[in-house]
Amino acid sequence: MIFNESQISRLGELILKSESIVLIPHKNSDGDAIGSILGWWNLFKNKGLNATVVVPDAVPDNLQWMKGANEIVVHENDPQKSKEALKHSDLLFLMDFNNLQRCGSLADIVSTLNTTRVLIDHHPDPVWGVADLIFSEIGVSSTCELSYHIIKSLNWQDNVDEFSAESFYSGIITDTGSLSYNSSHPRTYMVVGELVGKGIDKDKIHKQLFQSNSLTRMRLLGHVLCNKMELMNDLEAAYIAISKDDLDNHNYKPGDTEGFVNYPLGIKGVEISAMFTEKEREKFVKVSFRSRDNTPVNLYSEKYFSGGGHAKAAGGEWNGTLRGAIEHFKKTLPDFINQIRES
- Interacting residue ranges for Mn ion, rule: CB under 5 A: 32, 96, 142-143, 175
Q: How far is the CB of 94 from ligand 5GP (least distance, A)?
A: 13
Q: How far apart are CA 174 and CA 211, in angstroms?
A: 13
59 binds ligand 5GP (CB under 6 A): no
Q: Is residue 199 exposed (0-12), middle (13-18) or buried (19+ Cβ within 10 Å)? A: exposed
Q: How far is the CB of 209 from Mn ion (least distance, A)?
A: 15
Q: Which of residues 252-291 bind ligand 5GP (CB under 6 A)?
A: 261, 288
Q: How far apart are CA 182 and CA 179, in angstroms?
A: 7
Find which of ligand 5GP, Mn ion, none residue 308 binds, CB within 5 to 8 Å per kind.
Answer: ligand 5GP
Q: How far apart are CA 98 and CA 102, in angstroms?
A: 8
- What residues does 93 pair with on adjacent strands? 23, 118
Q: Which of residues 291-320 bind ligand 5GP (CB under 6 A)?
A: 307-310, 313-317
Q: How far is the CB of 283 from ligand 5GP (least distance, A)?
A: 16
Q: How far is the CB of 140 from Mn ion (least distance, A)?
A: 9
Q: What share of the chain is helix, strand, coil (3-state, %, to 5)?
A: 50, 20, 35
Find which of Mn ion, ligand 5GP, none residue 288 binds, CB within 5 to 8 Å per kind.
Answer: ligand 5GP
Find which of ligand 5GP, Mn ion, none residue 62 binds, CB within 5 to 8 Å per kind.
Answer: none
Q: How far is the CB of 175 from Mn ion (least distance, A)?
A: 5
Find which of ligand 5GP, Mn ion, none residue 313 binds, CB within 5 to 8 Å per kind.
Answer: ligand 5GP
User: 34 vs 160, which CB is nearer to ligand 5GP?
Assistant: 34
Size of the site for ligand 5GP (CB under 6 A): 14
Q: How far apart are CA 220 and CA 286, in angstroms?
A: 17
DSSP 115: -
Residue 335 main-chain phi, psi, to 5 deg: -65, -45
Q: Which of residues 144-203 bind ligand 5GP (CB under 6 A)?
A: none
Q: Which of residues 63-102 bind ligand 5GP (CB under 6 A)?
A: 102
Q: How far apart are CA 197 and CA 11, in angstroms?
A: 26
Beta-carbon count within 10 A of 30 CB? 20
Find which of Mn ion, ligand 5GP, none residue 32 binds, CB within 5 to 8 Å per kind.
Answer: Mn ion
Find which of Mn ion, ligand 5GP, none residue 316 binds, CB within 5 to 8 Å per kind.
Answer: ligand 5GP
Spell out the residues 6+ positions from residue 213 whose beta carbon is closer than 8 angstroms to its own: 62
Largest CA distance in the chain: 58
Residue (of 119, 102, 138, 125) closest to 40 by Cα position: 119
Q: Which parts of this chain interact with ligand 5GP (CB under 6 A)?
A: 26, 102, 123, 261, 288, 307-310, 313-317
